[in-house]
Amino acid sequence: MTTSVDIVIEICGSAGEGTISAGEVMTRFMSSKGYEIVSFDSFPSEIRGFGKCVAHFRASTETVLAPGKYTDVLIALNDAHAITQLSGLRKNGVLIYDSKPPVCHEEDRSIAGWAEPGMTAYGIPMLELANKAAGNAKGRNMVAIGAVACLFGIAPEEMTAFIERRFKGKKPKIIESNIDSFLLGYEWTKTHVSKEDPYTFKGAEIVPPEGEKTIMNGNEAVAMAAMDSGLRLYAGYPITPATKIMEILSKRLGESGGVMIQTEDEISAAGNVVGAGFSGKRAMTATSGPGFALMGEMINLAVMAEVPAVIVNSQRGGPSTGLPTKMEQSDLSAAVNGGTGDSPRVVFAPRDVVDCYAITCLAFYIAEKYQTPVVILLDFYLSNSIRNIDKPVPPDAEMCSSNVFPADEALDDYERFKITESGISPRTLPGMPFGMFVDTGLEHNTYGKPVYDGENHLVMTEKRYRKFHTMQAELPPAVETGTEGEVEIGILSWGSSSGAAEEAVRKAQEKGQRIASFHCSVIYPLPEEALKAFSRRCRILVVAELNYTGQYANLIAPVLNREVRRLTLITGLPMASEDILEFIGTFKG
Amino acid sequence: MPKDDHYVIIGNGPAGNSAADTLRKEDPEAKITLISDEKSLYYYKHRVPLYTVGGCEPEDLSIRPYRSYLENRIRLRLGQRVEKVVPAEKLLYLNHMEKVHYTKLILAVGASARRLPNHAGFADHLYCLAGLDDARRVRKAMMAASRLVVLGGDLISMGFAREARKAGKEVVFILYSSLFWPVSLKEEIQQSVTKRLNSLGVKVMSDAEPVTDVRPEGEGYTLTLPDGEEMSTDLVLSFFGSVPNIRFLVGSGINTEKGVLVDHLMRSNQEDVYACGDCAQIYNPELKDYWVSVGWGNAEAQGELTAMNLLGREKVIDYQPKEIFEMDGVTIRTSWWKTFA
Ligand SMILES: Cc1cc2nc3c(=O)[nH]c(=O)nc-3n(C[C@H](O)[C@H](O)[C@H](O)COP(=O)(O)OP(=O)(O)OC[C@H]3O[C@@H](n4cnc5c(N)ncnc54)[C@H](O)[C@@H]3O)c2cc1C
């Protein structure tokens, strides 16, 4: 019998126990088999130590858009840490724990002791089996994967083949001990455990992936899109959760003649990007909240000097260094309004990994054509979330070269900041004959010369804002899902929370509710007309986002000019459809 | 009582639960933990035979929801087996490698199916019915079975035979009258039992004990009777009463014989360790001997009494049988067995 399957698995351990890598092996394997995967990892901010690591992923035969709030299967590599994850385990969930720890747990320190009636707890002697397989404890994570494979109907030969592929290039001994640990876990479970829970992947109706697929996370998608868009310079300073972008580019950007520089700090990184943008090279930096705060002045400079720049901010919990390895969507206000003066900048927030690629390509195009900084808001979850996506189609030549050059005759008396209807002033690049101009952070006249009178300032400010009107026609439209026409509830969300909103709408619709969702990857300029049109057809409006004050709700409030209900969460976790369903479930009438 | 008292009860049957309830009622502050190796919530054992024939579902057996333990602040640890008791340290070791400290301990661990030594050679082929875990296995096997042989028996076997007949199964009952449990059958009662079983359509064989072999054959089993004759069937069930679950106490210093030896106040020889219900062997000052208790009502009453004794409110057990057991029209005098409506 083939059926639809939707299982959320969580592996929890201590740093150094292979928790995240076990999660990665599982997610990439399941994804390669054709399952829809949504994953979310969290780990301590300390580089090494004993902090808690959680690899959380959802594998489904259906399209899934959010990580799933409740866990079906919890694998405890470390009891003390995993006990705190038990509250998220379903009442009929499965717990897999190490039944032979080196010493007997003190009272209340064993996760098996906390399993509630209705849950199924399987004890696997992980440490003992890992020692047997490889002579050390390292393979406990693979023993656990072996147990999972056996309990939930994953063919061992497929997994071992995958492990071989995945670890290709590593020492044969390492590959061997991983496979041995996996197989021992599998065999032990097969002979010693009788299955009592209802979960299985056996017989799952998977649609084999069509066309060429590629497995990547949000950071990888951004890095790849940047390279495909003709990135020449990446300048950055490492920071969680954006570092991976830099890591990838440090390895690969050179292949296409680009340059990756690790700067001394984020001010310098942004300065490099603005400098490269000024000279006509596509350039990008990626950071997180604390680094973004430092980049503020350079972004302002790019606004005033009308220089293209792409700045990725993968948000984490803030303010300040905040919660480095936790999920939050709380830099929206800083991204949109963080500049001094009237400092418009484009802000995009992709919704998923596919969107990360598309939005990054668009960011380079828009930045160059409209001579503006573009901020891409990722977040901890999106940066790390692995998806199996159709191989992205690289941008065409027009997308890769979008500078608006002046006509030859305009060079007779070149006005760099010429007032135009579109707001775009044709731009020369350094070295172009007769295209010289002055560019500073000071307010200027059409030639770039500093001018401080109010009349000029108004004209220039209007011109800079006019570009944002003009670009609207080229920006992706809002996406609405769910019931058409008038609805009871409309859910607005942004960035990676949109998946949860869409999934919540789908589930509520199945229960007969008239409900719809609204998402736009363009945060600024605001899609005013689309927002108003959506608002008109909703009796109740909900804005669901992961920050305390309701930053998106605040941003769109003047446009909507009506009451909205705010679902604002700062749990450090990504939004789940259950969060939204539970929230709207509290509405009366 | 100091606040850091921790009353631990092993066993989630009537004895354990009534002890826990009483302790909570009498001592609202105490920390109470109930541990049991069975995974199921507290359930009615007398409905288990009905469950095996598909006449009810696990939720129909359940006595109270998990919520009620939370509300009463009783920590319920199910599916957790106590492997070792160390009275000197007031410490328990659980199977998943966790220590639990107690200040007072109640053993209410009940009993398991008794198996006959002369059935040892083929014990693997006999199904028992001491609890819900057994019942799940029996239910699964029963689905494909139309003919059953019951070796026995005991009071439970009669309830089981009745339900199996109602479900349309053919039932042969090989009656071991001298080994009937908890009392061997006197001629008069044996006749009454046979009559009753016959009236249910059960074929009773009272001269076919002991069965000398059971071996799998095809989808079912073949039995060999003492005269060498063979009989085939789909399933063979063994019902010979129960033996107290005391093996895990070996080496603990807690005195046991058939069960845990306790005095008239349910105290074992070890300080702060008590026992009650099917696992207890209680001193009877009148008989000047110990007797093993059986039955639901008995376990419940003893659980309450043990809790009171643990709290220092001395309560001595009533030795007189409260009830005459009657099942399916057969009257058997036995202590404490409870008839359910
Ligand atoms: C099928 C069936 C039908 C019955 N019908 C009737 C009837 O109609 N009337 C009647 O009066 N009686 C009946 N009984 C008998 C009655 O159920 C028992 O006498 C009663 O349950 C005994 O209660 P108890 O609390 O002492 O032990 P139990 O109910 O047996 O509970 C003891 C618990 O302790 C657990 N345990 C044991 N060892 C350990 C350990 N080391 N660690 C953790 N946990 C442990 C056991 O698994 C069990 O869950 C029936 C019994 C059965 C099996």
Domain containing residue B319: 6-39+79-110+245-332
CATH number of the domain enclosing B136: 3.50.50.60
For residue A112, give the chain B residue with the closest CA: B96
Task: Enter the tokens of residue A256.
Answer: 């296409």
Convert the pLDDT of each residue in B203-231 to its tens digit.
999 888 899 999 999 999 999 999 999 99
Evaluate if residue B131 carries a pLDDT over 50: yes
Give me the pLDDT at residue A48, please.
60
Considering the domain boundaries, does residue B103 fall inside one? yes
- Rounded CA separation A77/A120 (Å): 17
Atom of ligand 1 nearest to the CA of B277: 26
Among A83, A91, A96, A107, most B C-beta atoms within 10 A, so best to mutate, is A107
Domain final position from B193, B212, B242? B242
- Residue B336's pLDDT band, with cuts at 50, 70 and 90, is very low
Give me the pLDDT at residue A205, please.
86
Evaluate if residue A1 carries a pLDDT over 80: no
Task: Enter the tokens of residue B227.
Answer: 């005269």
CA of B181 to the centre of ligand 1 (A): 15
Out of A514-518, B46-50, B154-158, B255-259, pick the least confident. Answer: B154-158
Nearest CA, atom 36, ligand 1: B109
Q: Taking all residues of chain A, what is their mean pLDDT, rounded to a whole number?
A: 95
Overall domain count for chain B: 2
Convert the pLDDT of each residue in B229-254 to its tens digit.
999 999 999 999 888 999 999 999 99
Give me the pLDDT at residue B340, please.
53
CA of B245 to the centre of ligand 1 (A): 10
CB spacing of B96 vs A113 below 8 angstroms: yes
Nearest CA, atom 53, ligand 1: B130
Convert the pLDDT of each residue in A67-109 to its tens digit.
889 999 999 999 999 999 999 999 999 999 999 999 999 999 9
Task: Enter the tokens of residue B148.
Answer: 């059953």
Q: In terms of domains, do B207 and B272 share one?
A: no
Give me the pLDDT at residue B294, please.
79
- Residue B1's pLDDT band, with cuts at 50, 70 and 90, is very low
Give me the pLDDT at residue B325, please.
52
Give the mean model confidence (pLDDT) for residues B19-38. 97
Separation in Å, CA of A558 to nearest CA in chain B: 47
CB spacing of B99 vs A104 below 8 angstroms: yes
CA of B31 to the centre of ligand 1 (A): 24
CA of A198 to the centre of ligand 1 (A): 27
Give me the pLDDT at residue B330, please.
56
Separation in Å, CA of B227 to nearest CA in chain A: 39
**Does residue B66 have its Cβ closer than 6 Å to ligand 1?**
no
Give the mean model confidence (pLDDT) for residues B17-33. 97
**Does residue B41 have its Cβ closer than 6 Å to ligand 1?**
no
Task: Enter the tokens of residue A164.
Answer: 């071989």
For residue B94, give the chain A residue with the closest CA: A113
Considering the domain boundaries, does residue B280 fall inside one? yes
**Does residue B156 have its Cβ closer than 6 Å to ligand 1?**
yes
CB pairs under 8 A between A and B: 48
CA of B250 to the centre of ligand 1 (A): 21
Considering the domain boundaries, does residue B45 fall inside one? no
Domain final position from B209, B242, B275? B242
Separation in Å, CA of B94 to nearest CA in chain A: 9
Considering the domain boundaries, does residue B50 fall inside one? no
**B17, B37, B45, B100, best to mutate for ligand 1 pocket (most atoms within 8 Å of CB):** B45
Q: In terms of domains, do B124 and B152 share one?
A: yes
Considering the domain boundaries, does residue B58 fall inside one? no
Comparison of pLDDT for A46 and A419, the residue scoring more:
A419
Convert the pLDDT of each residue in B33-46 to its tens digit.
999 999 999 999 99
Out of A51-65, A178-192, B181-195, pick the least confident. Answer: B181-195
Out of A58-62, B99-103, B282-286, pick the least confident. Answer: B282-286
Reference B106, options B273, B331, B269; nearest CA is B273
Evaluate if residue B2 carries a pLDDT over 50: no
Give residues 103 to 142 of A whose Cβ lies within 8 Å of B: 104-110, 112-113, 115-118, 120-121, 123
Give me the pLDDT at residue B285, please.
80
Q: In terms of domains, do B204 and B299 share one?
A: no
Convert the pLDDT of each residue in A266-312 to its tens digit.
999 999 999 999 999 999 999 999 999 999 999 999 999 999 999 99
Q: In terms of domains, do B124 and B209 share one?
A: yes
pTM: 0.88
Q: In terms of domains, do B132 and B194 share one?
A: yes
Give the mean model confidence (pLDDT) for residues A9-24. 93
| Cβ of residue A193 closer than 8 Å to a chain B Cβ | no
Give me the pLDDT at residue A476, please.
98
Give me the pLDDT at residue B331, please.
55
> Are residues A574 and A561 in contact, defined by beta-carbon separation less than 8 angstroms?
no
**Which parts of A319-379 fold into alpha helices (H)?**
332-337, 353-370
For residue B36, give the chain A residue with the closest CA: A117
> Are residues A79 and A109 in contact, defined by beta-carbon separation less than 8 angstroms?
yes
For residue A96, give the chain B residue with the closest CA: B96
Give me the pLDDT at residue B55, please.
93
- Residue A409's pLDDT band, with cuts at 50, 70 and 90, is very high
CA of B120 to the centre of ligand 1 (A): 23
- Residue B319's pLDDT band, with cuts at 50, 70 and 90, is low
Atom of ligand 1 nearest to the CA of B338: 11
Give me the pLDDT at residue B49, please.
93
CB spacing of B101 vs A107 below 8 angstroms: yes
For residue A109, give the chain B residue with the closest CA: B98
CB spacing of B98 vs A105 below 8 angstroms: yes
Atom of ligand 1 nearest to the CA of B49: 1
Domain ranges of chain A: 6-192, 214-399, 408-467, 479-584
Topology agreement, domain A6-192 and domain A479-584: no
Cα Rg of chain A (Å, integer): 26
Q: In terms of domains, do B22 and B141 share one?
A: no
| Cβ of residue B101 closer than 8 Å to a chain A Cβ | yes
Q: Give the CATH number of domain A479-584.
A: 3.40.50.920
- Rounded CA separation B51/B58 (Å): 7
**Does residue B37 have its Cβ closer than 6 Å to ligand 1?**
yes
- Rounded CA separation A134/A157 (Å): 19
| Cβ of residue A212 closer than 8 Å to a chain B Cβ | no
Range ranked top by mean pLDDT from A531-540, B179-188, B236-245: A531-540
- Rounded CA separation B178/B185 (Å): 6
- Residue B128's pLDDT band, with cuts at 50, 70 and 90, is very high
Give the mean model confidence (pLDDT) for residues B329-334. 53
Evaluate if residue B85 carries a pLDDT over 80: yes
Here the ipTM equals 0.87
Q: In terms of domains, do B105 and B249 share one?
A: yes
- Rounded CA separation B235/B241 (Å): 19
Domain final position from B183, B210, B242? B242
Considering the domain boundaries, does residue B49 fall inside one? no
Name the one residue in this structure whose structure tokens are 């990446």.
Answer: A234
B140: exposed, middle or buried (Cβ count in 10 Å: 0-12, 13-18, 19+): exposed
Considering the domain boundaries, does residue B51 fall inside one? no
For residue B82, give the chain A residue with the closest CA: A113
Give me the pLDDT at residue A57, please.
94
Question: Candidates 3.90.1150.10, 3.40.50.300, 3.40.920.10, 2.40.340.10; correct CATH number of A6-192?
Answer: 3.40.920.10
Give the mean model confidence (pLDDT) for residues B70-89. 98
Evaluate if residue B326 carries a pLDDT over 80: no
A415: exposed, middle or buried (Cβ count in 10 Å: 0-12, 13-18, 19+): middle
**Angle, CA of A407, A411 and A413, to the nearest 5°:** 130
Chain A environment of B94 (Cβ under 8 Å)? 110, 113
Question: Candidates 3.30.590.20, 3.40.50.970, 3.40.50.2300, 3.40.190.10; correct CATH number of A214-399?
Answer: 3.40.50.970
- Residue B196's pLDDT band, with cuts at 50, 70 and 90, is confident
CB spacing of B80 vs A113 below 8 angstroms: yes
